[in-house]
């Protein structure tokens, strides 16, 4: 078995990632979130997974799926909330008051680690 086979890399797979308006993000406990593709592209890491050279088995199919073995459900949910917050307020004018993005203290460190991993 080659290394490419072991990690699920196949350059010949037909990817439908560009045609799907959604991406499925899966937490380490198996909870699935269906998220707008444009919104998750705020993460450079996710963008590279979906648009990088070659194709991964997880990104092929009607809805590309990415499992995060190191991110639990509550943290992934907060990350997704941030993606939508960023999408909503990224392009507003200077005259608009942007509300704070609320984070519970117990989520601070796991969110920092996840944000670093996801590059967002």
Terminal Cα distance for the chain, rounded: 35
pTM, two decimals, is: 0.79
- pLDDT score, position 59: 65
Category of 29 on φ-ψ map: left (φ > 0), alpha (ψ -120 to 50) or beta: alpha
Alpha-carbon span 79 to 43, nearest angstrom: 10
Which of the pair, 88 or 53, is modelled with greater confidence? 88
pLDDT per residue over 14-24, tens digit each? Answer: 444 457 899 99
Please report the domains of the chain, with CATH numbers, ordered by start residue: 3-118 (3.30.710.10)
pLDDT mean over 36-52: 92
- Tell me the per-residue pLDDT of 63-97, one tens digit each, with 9 for 90 and over: 999 999 999 999 999 999 999 999 999 988 888 89
């Amino acid at each position: 078995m080659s290394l490419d086979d072991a990690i699920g890399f196949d350059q010949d797979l037909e990817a439908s990632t560009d045609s799907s308006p959604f991406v499925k993000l899966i937490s380490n406990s198996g909870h699935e979130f269906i998220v707008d593709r444009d919104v998750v592209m705020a993460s450079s890491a996710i963008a590279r997974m979906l648009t990088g050279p070659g194709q991964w088995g997880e990104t092929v199919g009607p809805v590309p799926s990415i499992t995060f073995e190191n991110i639990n459900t509550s943290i992934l949910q907060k990350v997704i909330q941030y993606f939508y917050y960023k999408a909503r307020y990224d392009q507003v004018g200077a005259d608009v008051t942007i509300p704070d993005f609320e984070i519970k203290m117990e989520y601070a460190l796991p969110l920092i680690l996840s944000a670093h991993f996801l590059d967002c």
